[in-house]
Amino acid sequence: MSSSTLNKAERTAAQAWDYLSSAMAETAAKAASVAGDKGHELAGKGYDLAGKGYELAGSKADEAWARAGAAADALAGRKPGRSWGLVIVAGLVGAVAGFAAATYARQALARQAEAEERELNDTAVIVTGGTGV
């Protein structure tokens, strides 16, 4: 990569970082403002309603903060963490599928063994003691 291309890439990354930092600060400020406004508006309707408004605004602020953090991590080159819940669910589904397949295979083998035993019993020649010479 040439020096001018590298400098351009560094400037672009620095500008993106500045923009992201500014956006994160604005998002946090807006979320706090929304939470405060919502809390004041609902205070007259009672403690329970104010609490629900705070939770709603807080969850939106949390989501915005999480998204901004994920964007910052991506820009910094950090990979997102594993979703361990999905890994566990996939493992459980695999275990259930394996158990079902093993159970079906055991039943199929048992049926096959019974069928072979019946066939041998039906076609077997019973040798009885005969008269000797």
Q: Tell me the per-residue pLDDT of 8-22, one tens digit each, with 9 for 90 and over.
A: 878 877 787 877 777
Instruction: For residues 12 and 77, state if they share a domain.
Output: yes
Instruction: For residues 13 and 61, state if they share a domain.
Output: yes
Instruction: For residues 57 and 117, state if they share a domain.
Output: no
Q: What is the pLDDT of residue 25?
A: 76
Alpha carbon separation from 44 to 35, 39, 57 (Å, rounded):
15, 9, 17
Q: What is the pLDDT of residue 100?
A: 94
Domain count, the chain: 2
The Cα 42–Cα 23 span in angstroms is: 28
Instruction: For residues 16 and 72, state if they share a domain.
Output: yes
The predicted-structure confidence for 72-119, as pLDDT tens digits, reads as follows 888 888 887 778 888 899 999 999 999 999 999 999 999 999 998 888
Q: What is the pLDDT of residue 114?
A: 92
Instruction: For residues 87 and 75, state if they share a domain.
Output: no
User: Please, are residues 104 and 98 in contact by the beta-carbon 8 Å criterion?
Assistant: no
The predicted-structure confidence for 50-73, as pLDDT tens digits, reads as follows 566 667 777 777 888 888 888 888
Q: Which domain holds residue 101?
A: 82-124
